[in-house]
Structure formats: structure tokens, C-alpha cells
A and B are shown apart, each in its own frame.
Chain A
């Protein structure tokens, strides 16, 4: 078991004990919310782990590396950034997918671009964003987020 696993589980336990001591009913309500969220995400968890297995089992590393690897060009980067922007994968299960891509030969830059556009930009939630915040703000936020995601990804490639 990794340190991350132990720390997060202990921290959560500590939070729950604190919450329970502060307000018993609220703490239990929090657990109920958690259980519901967990059930809701469970099918997606199984889908993503099957897809990851198939991805790493069937798609040759050379192919992944050619499209989004270290030597791949800017086109590959734009492609994954765009995919990240239009796909609607819950962020929690997108990290294992990103990890598998990295394992499968993708570059740090490509994976960072994918994760960043995926979380920052939501085409599916854009109508709601426009309704609540107005067209100008919604388009500016999503558009600039795309550019920012590319910049972050390129810098990540330089740093790591």
C-alpha cells in the first residue's frame, strides 16, 4: 500500500471523527451523501478500468507514443486538449485513465493537457454556465482555459 493510500484514509477518518464530535447528525448525513456518490460512480469506475485494460493490452505503445508521445508534434497535443474539452469524464476517474496513458507511452505534456482541459472546460455544462453567468463570462472562461491548459501542459513538459 502506498503512502498516499494510508494518508488519505487516516485523514478522512480524522475528519469524520471531528465531524461526528461536532455534529452527529450532520456527520451521518455526510456519510449518506458519500454512499450515494460512491454508488453513482461505481459503474463508471468499472467502465474505466476495463477501458484501461483494453487500452494497455491492445493499443501498441509505439502507436500511443507516435500520436501523443515525447516525439509527437503539436497536432497530437491539440488533439488531446480538444478531446479533453469535449469529453465529459468525471475527473475522479479521469486520473487513472491519464495514468494509464502515461504508462502507455504518452508524454507528460499530452497527459497534462488532457487532464487540464478535461477538468477546466465543460462543453456539456456550458449552457448552464451561460444561463447563470452570461455569455461573455462563460465564453471567456472556457476559451482562456483552453489556452491556459496548453501553456500549463507545455511548461509541465519543460519542468518534468
Chain B
């Protein structure tokens, strides 16, 4: 029961932070401020949940607590798409509009996930690490092209790309939010049939097969779920997967359990707390002079080094 108490406390903390974010420091029209802020909160809850959830699942299927799904290369692909668009069409083009950009990003990342899907489904015996290796190679390849193009373009246009490099919850489009929400709900519904296998999969491949899990089939499908969730949240707010590593490891420390029901809920709440908390700091303390991902990455990076040092001692 103690884990339920922890979930309750996290829920309360998240609710308080959200309330503080929504209702304090309101200047001007309540209607306008509230609707703007609700959109931001909705975006943070949605992406925070998607990232935390997919990172937990990804770490369970890879049996590794320091990997993040960004290793598949979706973040790098997103940056490449943004850079190519600006490189080819310039900043003034309609392709840089929020909606069009979202759909282009989603579509291309979808194609990429499809290619990965083909690779892992086509040949029997390709294991997970082979896929990760391909992901790393693609990711590095995308990054190289991206920086090559960034060097060539006009410095003013580079400023626009730099904006895209960091996740941002300002100027979220309400329509896109709704579409993302529906997509994420659909993916979650698809995931539910596999939920019961996660605890067993965390025991490792051999134990999972011994206990009757159709391992290869389920792990491949879970991997696709992870990739789709990452694509949606990256297209919506920008590269944000680093958040996952931070929140899931905090969750593992908080909940000393193997049960994914707690881990997933807990990590989603931790994720929401750190996003809303971080955004509060960005808006009210730094008055937008920095971005959320800088803060998340700074705290996350320090925490990651701490984890490495701690694991080395153990």
C-alpha cells in the first residue's frame, strides 16, 4: 500500500503545481490568460506522459536503465527535417507554419519508423541490439547532414533552427494538441493488450519465454508503440527525450518495485511535475530568458553523472 501513498503524494504535487501555474500571477484578461495556460498545461501533461511512458517501456524491453528511446534516432531526424525545410524553402515559406510543419514531421518520422519496422520484422533473428545499432548509425548520419546544412545557411535562418533545437511549450496550437491527444489515446489503447507482459519481460528474455510470453512478437510491437509516441511528442514540442531518462530514474528510486503499474503511473506524474515545475521556473524566475529543455537537460545531466558515479561504486 505504501506505493499507492506515493502515487497519491505525486498526484497532489502535480495538481498543486498545475494550479499555481494556472491561477497565480494573472495580468490582464482572465479568459485569455487561462485559455493560453490551459493549452500549455495540456501540452505538458500530454508530452510528459508520452515520454515517461515510452522511456519506461523502452528500458524494460532493452533491459537497460540508462538508455533512452532517442537512441533510435528520431530526435536527430526531427532536427534534420527542420533544417532541410529551412535550407530548401527559407523561413518565410508556408512549410514553416505550425500545422504543415507538424504533419510533415509526423509523416517523415512515421516513414522512418516504418523502415525500422521493416528491418526488424523482415528477417527473423534480428535482435533488438541490431536495431539499436542501426538507430545510432542513422542518428549520427542525420546529425552530420544537419550540421552541414546549418553551416551553409544564413545566420538569421539559423536562429530559427536554434529555436527548434529545444523543446518549447509556448505557442502550442490547439488543433495539433487535439490531434496528438487522439493519436496518443489510440496508441495507448493498442498498448493495453501488452501491458500485462511488461513485468515478466523485465526478468529478461529467457525467463519471459519460459513463462509463456511470445517474446519477439510482443517486444517488436512495444518498440513500435514507443517510436510512435516519441514521434508525436517530438513533432508537437520538439526534441524532449532527454527528459525521459531523468524522470524514469527518479521513479525507480522512488518506487522500489518491479511492478509496471506503479512505475508507469509514477513516472508520468514525475514527468508532469518536472515539466510544469520547470516551465514555472522558466516563466516566473527567468522570465523566458532560458528554455525549459535547458533547465531539464541541466538537471538531467547532473543527475545522470551522479547515476554513473553511483553505479561505478556499487
A, B bound: no
Measuring CB to CB, which residues of chain A are less than 8 angstroms from any residue of chain B? Answer: none
Q: Which residues of B contact A (CB under 8 A)?
A: none
